[in-house]
Amino acid sequence: MKIKLSLLAFSALMLTQVGMDFTGAHHTILRLELSQFPAQMKQLHALDFDIAGVNLNAHTVDLVVDDLQAKQIHDLGFKVINTKSQVGLTRPDNNYQTPEKIEALLKKYAAQYPTLAQVQSVGKSLEGRDIWAIKITSNVSQPDPAKPHIFFNGMHHAREVMSVEIPLDTIETLLKGYGKDSKITHWVDANEIWVLPMFNVDGNNKVWNSESMWRKNTRGGYGVDINRNYPYAWNSCNGSSNSQSAQDYHGPSGASEPETVVMMNLVKAIRPVFSISYHSYSEIVIYPFGCEGQHTPTKEVVESIGAEMASLIVSDDGEGRYRAGTAPELLYSVDGGDIDWMYHEASVIPYVIEVNADSQGFQPSYRKWRQKTVDNVRPAWELLLDKLDGSSLHGQVKTPNGEGVGTAVVHLERTSGGNPFVQDYPVRQDGYFDIIVPTGQYKVTYSAPGMQDSVQSLSVGSVRVETNASLQAK
Ligand SMILES: [Zn+2]
C-alpha cells in the first residue's frame, strides 16, 4: 500500500514536471510588410498561417511560424522586415491572470460587495473547469427584469492575456466607484452588467504550463478555435479552417465545443443589448458580419457606435485612435465568430475589440502596459453604458391585466427623419425590450401569437423613450 502510494505520488510529480517543461515550444514571429494588404492578407489566411496581429498604419502583419512555415514565407516572396525567434517558452508576465486567480478574484469581489455583485459558474470547459461570470447591479439579489442587460467578456483566445484585464477593470471601476461617482452609480442602478473575464480557461492553463502561443481550446490536443465554432454561418465563407492543426480550425460542426455552448446559453439567458468581446492585438473595433460584403440590417446603429468607440480609444503610441470595420474590411473573412451569432440569433449589438499595438504583441509587460491599456479602452465600454440611456426604446409588452408577454416581437419602421430603418426585435423574458435606434419618427407594431397587434407612432430623439404596449387576446 505504501509502495503504491509513493509510486502514485512520484508519477504525479513526474507529470507536474513534464507539464512544466517547455522544450517543445519553439516559435518565431515574422513581421511582413504587405504591398497589397487586402489581397496578401487573404492569401496568408487561405494558407492557414497563424496571423497574430496587424498594424493597419504600417501595412504589416505578424505571423507565428515554425521553421518550415518561415521557409515557406520566404519562398512565397513575402517581404520580411522583422524576425523574432523565441526558443523554449516565454511565459506571459506573472502578473497576468490564471484560471485559479480569476476565480479567487471574482469571489473576493462578490464577498466584498454583496449587495452589488454575484459570482457564478456559467458552465464548464472541455476539461471540466468552471467558467466564471459576475453580475453587477444594485440590489443584486432581487433582479429587476426591466433593467437592460449589457455583457463584457475576455479571452476567447488563450494567449491574449491582456483581453482579461479590460473586463477586470470594468468590474473594479464599477464596484469601487459605486456610491462615489454619480455616473457609475447610475449605470449600476439602472442596468444589469455581466462580465466574464476569462472564457477560454483550458487554453489559458496551457499557455501557462506548456505553450505560450496557444490560442484554441484543448480538444484532442490540437484544439478548436472557439471563435470560429459558433453555429450561425459556420464554415460558410472561407473564414476559418478545415485543418485541425490550423489556429482557426472551426471544429467538426457548429457549436461542437462545450465552451461555445456555454457562451450561447449565457447570451440567450441574459439577452444583452450590447456586448464586447476583447481580444488582442491590432488596435481595432470589429462589428458584424464576418463574411465579405455583408453588413447588418441595422448597420446605421451598429457601425456608427463601433466607429464612435474606436474614435475614443487612444492607440498605444499615444497619437492615433483605433479603427473600426467588419472583419473582412479590416483583416480577412471570419465565419463562426461570436459577434455574428450574437447579432443574428440573440438581437445583440456586439463588438470585438482587439487591444494593443503590434509593438506589444500577445505578451505586453504588465507593469508598463496593463494600466495604460485599461485606461485607454475604458471610454469605449463606458460609451455603451451611456448609450443605454440614449436614442432608444424601452418598455414592456403586457396583457391588459399587466402580465408580461414573453413571446412578443417589436417591429420598428422609421417613417421619417432618416433613411428607412426596419427592425424586428423579440422581447426579453417578461415582455421587456431595450432597442437602440437612430433618431427619427417610428411606426411601432407589437405582436404576439394569439393576440391582436398594437400599433404606436413614436418620435425618438437623443434620449431613451419609455413606452409600453397592451395586447388583447384575438
Ligand atoms: Zn483573439
Q: Where are the domains of the chain?
A: 27-87, 99-387, 393-470
Return all residues near 416 (Cβ < 8 A) that are at least 6 apart. Answer: 440, 441
pLDDT at res. 342: 98
pLDDT at res. 22: 40
pLDDT at res. 3: 41
- Centre of ligand 1 to C-alpha 104, Å, is 24
- Centre of ligand 1 to C-alpha 279, Å, is 4
- Centre of ligand 1 to C-alpha 163, Å, is 8
Question: pLDDT in tens for each of the 474 residues of the chain?
Answer: 444 444 444 333 333 333 333 434 568 999 999 999 999 999 999 999 999 999 999 999 999 999 999 999 999 999 999 988 765 557 889 999 999 999 999 999 999 999 999 999 999 999 999 999 999 999 999 999 999 999 999 999 999 999 999 999 999 999 999 999 999 999 999 999 999 999 999 999 999 999 999 999 999 999 999 999 999 999 999 999 999 999 999 999 999 999 999 999 999 999 999 999 999 999 999 999 999 999 999 999 999 999 999 999 999 999 999 999 999 999 999 999 999 999 999 999 999 999 999 999 998 999 999 999 999 999 999 999 999 999 999 999 999 999 999 999 999 999 999 999 999 999 998 999 999 999 999 999 999 999 999 999 999 999 999 999 999 999
- Centre of ligand 1 to C-alpha 14, Å, is 33
pLDDT at res. 25: 53
Q: Which CATH class is domain 99-387?
A: alpha beta
- Centre of ligand 1 to C-alpha 160, Å, is 6
Q: Which CATH class is domain 393-470?
A: mainly beta
pLDDT at res. 87: 56
- Centre of ligand 1 to C-alpha 423, Å, is 30
pLDDT at res. 1: 40
pLDDT at res. 11: 39
pLDDT at res. 19: 35
Cα–Cα distances (Å) from 223 to 140, 144, 302, 337, in that order, read 37, 40, 32, 16
pLDDT at res. 91: 82
- Centre of ligand 1 to C-alpha 393, Å, is 33
- Centre of ligand 1 to C-alpha 44, Å, is 17
- Looking at the structure, give the CATH architecture of the domain made up of residues 27-87: 2-Layer Sandwich (3.30)
- Centre of ligand 1 to C-alpha 149, Å, is 24
